[in-house]
Amino acid sequence: MSSDRLMRIHSAEFHAMAERVLRVTELTSRLNVLPFDDEAGKARLFEQILGKPLPSGATIYPPFYTDHGLHLDLAERVFINQNCTFLDYAGIRLGARVMVGPKVTFITGGHPVDPAERRLYLTGAPIDVAENVWIGAGATILPGVSIGRDAVVAAGAVVADDVPPASLVTGAKATVHRRW
């Protein structure tokens, strides 16, 4: 998985990533209109999106969204419900037996807080989800977060900090930290 990243916008690396995003957007748009029972069609498209076949026993219910796909690492028996988004620029790993509820969003990319740098760079940090984690409907997992084994993320939670193993995290309250 990638470590923390800083990419200059309008660089060759950024343009290559943007081309991949367009390709994956086309692939996911095709995936998301297939008949639900077209297992062979879904398997072919997931292999193109992820760059490899789905692991044994992994289940993903479309609609499914990702911006890159190649940095999404799924272990065996992962379950991903409908309408989830994986912005995997900096890497997302889901351990064995992870369950992801509907409308969950994983975001590994962002921009600097400084307004002068915001349109110049893309930042990123990987997300790591250990084995047997349950992430409830509508949760948002932000860049750089690690979620420990057997943890539960409550529905609607916004996770900006690491989650210890075998714990329950809840909440989505925004707080002003500073002004410029």
Helix (H, G, I), strand (E, B) or coil at 165: coil
CA atoms of 146 and 128, how far apart (whole Å):
5
173, 169, 134: which is closest to 150 by C-alpha?
134
Residues 6+ apart with CB under 8 A from 19: none
CA atoms of 110 and 88, how far apart (whole Å):
11
Helix (H, G, I), strand (E, B) or coil at 10: coil
Candidate list 68, 71, 111, 177, residue with the active-site label:
111
Tell me which residue has tokens 């900006």: 160
- The verdict on whether 68 is a catalytic residue reads no
CA atoms of 11 and 45, how far apart (whole Å):
29
Rg (alpha carbons) of the chain, rounded to whole number: 16
The C-alpha angle with vertex 35 and arms to 30 and 36, in degrees rounded to 5, equals 110
The C-alpha angle with vertex 55 and arms to 49 and 56, in degrees rounded to 5, equals 145
- Residues annotated as catalytic are 111
